[in-house]
């Protein structure tokens, strides 16, 4: 079948396809962007993930933070408050077999009995150079950053499809995905960027919207920055580290209904690191 015939058939199909009536979205109060939504955030016990939890709560969502350390998760819930709208669950994203049951348990934590938003924020960074990294460190980074993101997305997407939930999935990648990949961390973030496009394509027909957010150098413990310390960064074009709260504010918009037309995109918040310069 040649291209002209294919185009004709496609036009004919679209011509006779019933037009859907879709309501025009209207602006929402910033404090109600996520009202009625339930969000599950892996890597939610620190850094960017915890900042997202705080931002989602302020925007009206109920939030479940996930991580591997129950004591730390409990402490984070006490620290940021949230009351009955905040809970936690222990999830190890390297334990693939447990994910479907963990997702089901998380969904039952609130009366809504659902998960509308997944944020894949669990991640680790490389500490060795190309010539020095061990197989063990390589496997650990790839298993958490890439493999964990893939199978957590799979588990939640299946749950959303089975329960007819039109939700959002947000992957946390990095400006490292713009640089030459000579560490497994950079490789894993390239993988997440590509997977975001693929998952968006595969899941959009079910009403599940997949995107990624890509921070540059951010003032988190992962980069040795603790709360209250200077955020000056001489290697970043903007001259400073990003703050987790800045990343979280953008993420909140992206997983809200106002972000429904952002599909398969990666939004960078880097202060120019990786965008106008490869370094930093």
In a domain, 279, yes or no: no
Which is the catalytic residue, given 88, 138, 159, 185? 185
Q: pLDDT grade, residue 1 (50/70/90)? A: low
In a domain, 88, yes or no: yes
For 279, the token pair is 């370094």
For 247, the token pair is 């990343």
Q: 71 near 95, Cβ under 8 Å? A: no
In a domain, 6, yes or no: no
Convert the pLDDT of each residue in 246-271 to its tens digit. 999 999 999 999 999 999 999 999 88
Scored b (16 or more CB within 10 A) or e, 168-179 reads: bbbbbbbbbbbb
Q: pLDDT grade, residue 17 (50/70/90)? A: low
| Number of domains making up the chain | 1
In a domain, 23, yes or no: no
Average pLDDT over residues 155-171: 98
Residue 206 a catalytic site member: no
In a domain, 197, yes or no: yes
CATH at 112:
3.40.50.720
In a domain, 127, yes or no: yes
Q: pLDDT grade, residue 6 (50/70/90)? A: low
How far is it, in rounded angstroms, from Cα 215 to Cα 217?
A: 7
In a domain, 1, yes or no: no
Provide the domain limits for residue 98: 30-269
Q: Does 50 or 20 have the greater pLDDT score?
A: 50
Convert the pLDDT of each residue in 185-224 to its tens digit. 999 999 999 999 999 999 999 999 999 999 987 777 666 6
In a domain, 16, yes or no: no
């Amino acid at each position: 079948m040649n291209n002209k015939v294919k185009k004709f058939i496609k036009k004919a199909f679209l011509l006779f396809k019933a037009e859907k009536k879709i309501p025009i979205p209207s602006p929402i109060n910033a404090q109600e962007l996520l009202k009625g939504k339930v969000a599950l955030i892996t890597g939610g016990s620190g850094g960017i993930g915890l900042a997202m939890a705080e931002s989602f709560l302020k925007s009206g969502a109920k939030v479940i933070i996930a991580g591997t350390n129950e004591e730390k998760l409990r402490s984070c819930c006490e620290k940021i408050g949230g009351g009955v709208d905040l809970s936690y669950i222990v999830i190890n994203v390297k334990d693939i077999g447990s994910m479907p049951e963990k997702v089901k348990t998380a969904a039952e934590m609130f009366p809504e009995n659902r998960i509308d938003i997944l944020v894949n924020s669990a991640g680790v960074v490389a500490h060795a150079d190309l010539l020095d990294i061990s197989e063990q460190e390589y496997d650990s980074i790839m298993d958490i950053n890439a493999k964990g993101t893939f199978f957590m997305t799979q588990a939640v997407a299946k749950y959303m499809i089975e329960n007819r939930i039109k939700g959002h999935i947000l992957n946390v990648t990095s400006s490292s995905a713009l640089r030459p990949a000579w560490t497994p961390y950079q490789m894993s973030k390239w993988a997440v960027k590509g997977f975001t496009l693929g998952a968006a394509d595969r899941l959009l027909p079910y009403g599940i919207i997949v995107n990624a957010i890509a921070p540059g150098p951010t003032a988190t413990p992962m980069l040795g920055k603790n709360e209250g310390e200077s955020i000056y960064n001489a290697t970043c074009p903007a001259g400073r580290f990003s703050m987790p709260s800045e990343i979280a504010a953008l993420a909140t918009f992206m997983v809200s209904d106002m972000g429904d037309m952002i599909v398969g995109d990666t939004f960078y918040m880097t202060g120019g690191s990786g965008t106008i310069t490869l370094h930093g």
